[in-house]
Structure 1
Amino acid sequence: MSDQAPKRLNKYISDTGLCSRREADKLIDQKRVSVNNHPPELGTKIGPNDIVKVDGKIVGAVAKDKSDRVYIVYNKPIGITCTTERHVKGNIIDAIGHKARIFPVGRLDKPSEGLIILTSDGDIVNKILRAENAHDKEYEVTVNQPISERFVKRMARGVPILGTVTKPCVVKPTGKNTFTIILTQGLNRQIRRMCEFLGYEVTKLKRTRIMHLELKALKPGQWRNLTQHELTTLQNAVKASSKTAPSN
């Protein structure tokens, strides 16, 4: 294990990218975790010489500077499902085929396409999801009929869905049936539900940006590593995260 201060067992497991802290607690409760070949107590702290195993396999510690973590952006094609469950046909993990154990941050619906972040850093996943309501996500949207000025104003002002009213957002027409929308929240199927409320059906939905991360030249099915500047900016952006919200 790398030379670092002791940390709680669930955080140690989460930091390796295996699962979230909550899921790590479940693994501990299910007696699937051992520390130095003995069953641990909840709250056990892991030091530099401890050996942690999950289902009998050693779980290596994350490097102190997280240099061994993977951070990528992927242009998800239509038809790919944002799940780590490998038995699901068309799952995002098999589609990317990365050698590291990675998982998506949030999700994009199967019929949607565009930018999604994947990482092996469980800690930053939790921070990004908690901070999601404070950061921009931009989409290109096509609907089934010409958009009106009223439609644009109502979308921007907020509409009632899922027992609440969506937050004000930026909506700009780009064509007869197309517009861009910038959200700062991530309700389930939010854009599709907003359009449905106003009598429109989304025929194409593409996410082009999350915070400072953009698709740029990435073609559907392609991915790239975050640059060091992008990663540093991302880490700084989520430092003060506090509120949990599901992704769009």
Structure 2
Amino acid sequence: MDLSISLNKFISDTGYCSRREADKLIESGRVLLNGRPARLGNRYEEGDEVEVDGSLITAPKKDKLVYIALNKPAGITTTTEMHIPGNIISYVNHPKRIFPIGRLDKDSEGLIFLTNDGNIVNKILRAGNKHEKEYIVKLNKPAEQGFVARMSTGVPILDTVTAPCKVVMSGRQTFSITLVQGLNRQIRRMCEALGYSVVSLKRVRIMNIQLGTLATGKWRNLSDAEVAMLKASVSGSDNTAKASPKVKAAPSERPRRESPAAKPEKALKQSAKPAKKADGNNTPPPSSPKKSSYKDYRSKGKRK
């Protein structure tokens, strides 16, 4: 496999100048490739020496992968949009360009990961992976008998019914809930559907990584063991597989324009819905020898 890159791209990647300017340098004989005058179209391979005006140009260092666990305070918005007041990126103020894995409501607090590893983001967030997330919730009033059964077996919200989940009461008004879904404000909507409102909501676990004693508002680097555990948990995941349908979040809960890092989370916003019936525009013309199904039309990209 050819791992070489064009010489002008290599020079540009080092930050020395643009590709166009690199071509001009090459044309004017100011660039040497392994001690010989470079020519337009030359390619750079790892280990080659490149000189510009007698100075050695070194390959850019690969950005070290960062994995952070943050105990997000309430009031911080999970977005990379820097113009949004209280955005999570400005709050963490990390020297490297990082982005959050998934979302945590502005009003909620607790464990959230941030990283510059785009590959693992998609694997974690893809709806089919069914990764567990555990929360501690406090209600506005004591839970009535049957609350646990109704919450754990599925609650109708957002035109669907939530997937079965684990619910354990820890007090008259507090409980823990473990989800494998990520519908928009799911826990709050579930409680509201049963006649309660959420006073506080805190995420304490994502997969096998615990929030532990990390103070509110503080962050730490994941240990090597935790990173290895994280990668092992998604080793069989396909980060290119199709996600489940999208659900719009309430306007007050997310910025108008969503960042690239936040997009994978949309895959968790809604469980699968029944397929819509094809409308008149999808009906094949009378001359068609065979009436295709809606599925066939959708797979051929003909649905408008």
The aligned residue for residue 146 of structure 1 is 142
Give the Cα separation in 1 of the matches to 2:20 and 2:102: 34
Query: Which residue of 268, 286, 296 corresponds with 1:246?
Result: 268
In structure 2, C-alpha distance between the alignment counterparts of 1:47 and 1:241, rounded to whole Å: 34
Larger Rg: 2
Amino acid at match of 1:83: T
How much does 1:241 deviate?
Answer: 2.1
Counterparts of 1:103-182 in structure 2, within 5 Å, are 103-130=99-126, 133-182=129-178
Distance 2:72 2:204 in 1: 11
Q: Distance in 2 between matches of 1:5 and 1:246?
A: 38
- Measured after TM superposition, the shift of residue 240 of structure 1 is 2.1
Q: Residue 110 of structure 2 aligns to a residue in which SS? A: strand
Letter in 1 for 2:105: D
Residues 109 and 202, structure 2, Cα contact 8 Å, conserved in 1:
yes
Contact 1:132 1:184 in 2 (8 A): no
CA deviation after TM superposition for structure 1 residue 149, in Å: 2.8
* Cα distance in 2 between the residues matched to 1:129 and 1:160: 23
Distance in 1 separating the partners of 2:67 and 2:207: 15
What does the per-residue CA deviation read over 1:154-178, in whole Å, with 9 as the maximum and x for residues that have no partner?
0000111112111111000011111
Alignment match, 1:20: none
SS in 1 for 2:126: helix
The whole-number CA distance in structure 2 between the counterparts of 1:233 and 1:163 is: 35
- SS of residue paired to 2:75: coil
Aligned length: 201
Q: Structure 2: how far apart are the matches of 1:100 and 1:230?
A: 20
Find the counterpart in structure 2 of residue 183 from structure 1: 179
- Call closer, same or farther: CA 1:186–1:222 in 2, change over 3 Å: same
- Per the alignment, residue 198 of structure 1 pairs with 194
Match of 2:84, SS state, is coil
The answer to whether the 8 Å contact 2:97/2:116 transfers is yes
Give the TM-score of the pair, scaled to structure 2.
0.60
Q: Measure how far apart 1:118 and its partner are.
A: 0.2
Q: Which residue in the other structure is 2:260 paired with?
A: none
Q: Within the alignment, does 1:233 sit opposite 2:229 as a pair? A: yes
For 1:153, the aligned partner's letter is A
Is the 8 Å Cα contact of residues 127 and 268 (structure 2) preserved in structure 1? Answer: no
**Aligned CA distance change for structure 1 residues 47 and 135 (closer, same or farther; 3 Å):** farther
Separation (CA, whole Å) in 2 of partners of 1:210 and 1:37: 47
1:85 pairs with 2:107: no
Shift of residue 131 of structure 1?
A: 5.5
- Secondary structure at the aligned position of 1:149 is classed as coil
Query: Structure 1: which amino acid aligns with 2:117?
Result: D
Q: Quote how far apart the aligned CAs of 1:246 are.
A: 2.6
Q: Quick one: distance in 2 between partners of 1:230 and 1:81? A: 25
Unaligned runs of 5+ residues in structure 2 are 5-17, 22-42, 47-58, 244-266, 271-304
TM-score, normalization: structure 1? Answer: 0.73
Match of 1:94 among 90, 96, 100: 90
Which residue in 1 is equivalent to 2:204?
208
One-letter code aligned to 1:96? V
SS at match of 1:154: helix
Question: Identity percentage over the alignment?
Answer: 54
What are structure 1's unaligned runs of at least 5 residues? 8-34, 39-45, 50-58
1:70/1:121 contact within 8 Å kept: yes
Write the distance in 2 (CA, Å) between the matches of 1:221 and 1:85.
19
